[in-house]
Amino acid sequence: MNEATIDIKTNEMAHDDHHGPAKGITRWLYTTNHKDIGTLYLLFSLLMLFVGGAMALVIRTELFAPGMQITTPEFYNQMVSMHGLVMIFLVIMPTFIGLANWMIPLMIGAPDMALPRLNNWSFWVLVIASIVLMSTFFVEGGAPSGGWTFYAPLSTEYAKPSITFMILSIHLLGMSSIMGALNIISTIFNLRAPGMGYMKMPLFVWTWLITAFLLLAVMPVLAGLVTMMLTDIHFGTSFFNAAGGGDPVMFQHLFWFFGHPEVYIMILPAFGIVSMILPTFSRKPLFGYDSMVYATASIAILSMIVWAHHMFTAGMPLAGEIFFMATTMIIAVPTGVKVFNWIATMFQGSITFETPMLFAIAFVALFTIGGLSGVMMAMASVDIQYHDSYFIVAHFHYVLVPGALFAIYAGVYYWLPKWTGKMYNETLGQIHFWLSFVSVNLTFFPMHFVGLAGMPRRIPDYSLQFSDFNALATIGAFAFGISQLIFAYIVIRAMFAGKPATQEVWDNPEGLEWTIPSPAPYHTFETPPEVK
C-alpha cells in the first residue's frame, strides 16, 4: 500500500507514487471523498433547480390570464409532468443526499462514508438518469404528459415512446437513491466515533438514518410499479387494463404506497437541519431531544400506512376511509411535537436573526400552514371537494417550497463557511430571504382561494373569475425565480471571493465549533479503520 499524506490547503491526497494527486476533471469523475461527492450533488441540484424552475415559469406564464397564451394543452401537460419529476427526483432528494454526504461523516467523527466507491457511483447514476429523463423532450411525441404521477392506464394504453425512457430514468434514480441510503445506514451504524451513542447523534444524522430506511422500504415498490407499466406497454400484460382483467386502481395503491412516504423522505432531513439551526441562533440546547427522535421515527412509521388518503375519490369501503382518515390525522401529533419543541427552543433564547435563522423560522411558520391544510384534506368527506383542485397544489407546495427548499437554503447558509472556508455576504443573504419569503407566499397562498372556489388543477385554461388570483400567483412565481439567481450568486461568490470564515463566524464560539474548514482524515479503505 502506498503511503499518502493530505494536503491541508487543497484537501487532496498526495501519493508518493508516479501518478500523483488527481487533477482537474479526473478528480471529480473518480473521487471517493465524501466532501467532493457532496459538492457534486449540491451543484447538480442547483443547476436542476433552475431547469425545473423554468418549467414552472412556463406553467405560470400560461396561467397568467384566461385562454391559451403561449403553449398548447399537450405541451402544458408536459411541463406540469416534467416540473414535478425534476423537482422531486433531481432537486430536493439529491440536495439532501449531498448535505448528508458532506455533513454526516463530520458530525459522527467518521473518516468518510462507509462505501466510498458506491458513493461515487450513486452520483453518476443520478446524472445519467437525469440525462435520460430530459432526453424525453426530443423523443417522438414529446415528454410524458400524464402528470408526475403518470397514472395508468392513461400512461400505458396511450403510451408515447417517451414513457419508456421515463421508466428507465426512474429505475436509475431508484438505484441511485437505494445506494445512497445503504451508504448512509452503513456509515451511521459502523463509523461513529468512540463514545458517540445513538442518542448523542445530532438530529440531522437521526433524521437521515430514518429517511434512509424509508428509501429502502419504498423505492423497490416504485421500481416494481414501473416494471409492470413496462410490460403492459411492450409485452402484452394487463396489470392496469380492466379490459384484460387488470385493475387501474391497483396502480394508485402501488404508486401512493411509494408516493406518500416519498413526501416524508423529502421533509424529514429538513426537520433535522432546522433542529440544528434553531438551537445555535437561540443560544440554547434543543428542547426535547429524545422526543424529537421518537417523533421522527413515529412519522416515518405512520407515513407507510396512510397512502390511500390520496384515493378518497377512487371509491373504497367506509371502514377503509375511516382508517386512512384517522391515521392521516394521527401523523399531526408527532409533527406537532416537533413544532412545539422548535418554538420551545426559541422561547426566551438570546436570538439573532442571521440568514440561516430567518429561513429556519420561516420554515416553521410556513410548513405549519402546509400541515394544517393537510389535516383539512385528511377528512374524507371534504377531501372529495378539494380533490384535484388548486387547494391541493397550494398544500403540497407549502410543504415542499417554504418547507423542504427553505430548510435547504437554511442549511446551505449555515454550513457554507464550513464548506468553503469563506463567509457569504450576509446582506445579500437577507435580501434573498425577504424576496423569497414574500414571493413564495404571493405565489402559493392565492391558490388556496381559487382551489376552494373550484379551479381544477392540470388544466391550462380557466374561468374568468379566477384571473386576478392567477395573475398574482404568476407575478409571485417570477419574483421567486429571479430571487434564486441571487442565491446562486451568493454561493458562487462565497466559493471563490468571500472573506475568510473565523471560528466565531456566528459570534457564538461555543455553538459552532466546526465552522472552520477541515481536511478529511486519510484513509485508503483497503483496511478497516483503526479506532484509537
Is residue 525 one of the residues assigned to a domain? no
Model confidence, pTM:
0.90
Active site residue 19: no
Active site residue 264: yes
Is residue 460 one of the residues assigned to a domain? yes
At 25 the pLDDT is: 87
Active site residue 275: yes
The residue from 145, 303, 335, 474 that is catalytic is: 335
Is residue 521 one of the residues assigned to a domain? no
The residue from 32, 136, 145, 177 that is catalytic is: 177
Tally: H helices and E strands in the chain = 19, 4
Active site residue 335: yes
| Total domains in the fold of the chain | 1
pLDDT tens digits for range 239-277: 999 999 999 999 999 999 999 999 999 999 999 999 999
C-alpha to C-alpha distance for 465 and 377, rounded to whole angstroms: 24
CA distances from residue 418 to 104, 364, 494 in whole angstroms, order as listed: 13, 24, 11
Active site residue 426: no
- Give alpha helix (H) positions in 22-160: 24-30, 34-62, 73-85, 93-108, 116-134, 154-157
Active site residue 338: yes
C-alpha to C-alpha distance for 397 and 275, rounded to whole angstroms: 21
CA distances from residue 191 to 108, 121, 157, 529 in whole angstroms, order as listed: 8, 20, 49, 9
Are the beta carbons of 345 and 287 closer than 8 angstroms?
yes
Is residue 25 one of the residues assigned to a domain? no
C-alpha to C-alpha distance for 493 and 434, rounded to whole angstroms: 20
The residue from 35, 60, 83, 284 that is catalytic is: 83
Active site residue 160: no
Active site residue 260: yes
At 54 the pLDDT is: 97
pLDDT tens digits for range 88-103: 999 999 999 999 999 9
Average model confidence (pLDDT) for the chain?
Answer: 90
Are the beta carbons of 215 and 177 closer than 8 angstroms?
yes
What is the residue-level pLDDT of the chain in tens, covering all 532 positions? 333 433 433 344 433 334 445 678 888 999 999 999 999 999 999 999 999 999 999 999 999 999 999 999 999 999 999 999 999 999 999 999 999 999 999 999 999 999 999 999 999 999 999 999 999 999 999 999 999 999 998 899 888 899 999 999 999 999 999 999 999 999 999 999 998 899 999 999 999 999 999 999 999 999 999 999 999 999 999 999 999 999 999 999 999 999 999 999 999 999 999 999 999 999 889 999 999 999 999 999 999 999 999 999 998 999 999 999 999 999 999 999 999 999 999 999 889 999 999 999 999 999 999 999 999 999 999 999 999 999 999 999 999 999 999 999 999 999 999 899 888 999 999 999 999 999 999 999 999 999 999 999 999 999 999 999 999 999 999 999 999 999 999 999 998 888 888 766 555 434 443 333 334 444 444 444 444 4
Are the beta carbons of 419 and 102 closer than 8 angstroms?
yes
C-alpha to C-alpha distance for 107 and 196, rounded to whole angstroms: 10
The residue from 12, 112, 232, 321 that is catalytic is: 112
The residue from 338, 395, 418, 432 that is catalytic is: 338
At 6 the pLDDT is: 38
The residue from 35, 60, 160, 260 that is catalytic is: 260
At 158 the pLDDT is: 86
At 22, give phi and psi (nearest 5°): -70, 140
The residue from 28, 121, 124, 148 that is catalytic is: 148
The residue from 457, 458, 493, 523 that is catalytic is: 457
36 is in which domain, residue-wise? 30-515
Which residues are CB-neighbours of 63 under 8 A, at least 6 positions away? Answer: 460, 462, 470, 473, 474
C-alpha to C-alpha distance for 272 and 226, rounded to whole angstroms: 31
Is residue 526 one of the residues assigned to a domain? no
Active site residue 112: yes
pLDDT tens digits for range 428-470: 999 999 999 999 999 999 999 999 999 999 999 999 999 999 9
Is residue 405 one of the residues assigned to a domain? yes
Active site residue 234: no
At 504 the pLDDT is: 61
**CATH code for position 282:** 1.20.210.10
Is residue 520 one of the residues assigned to a domain? no
At 505 the pLDDT is: 57
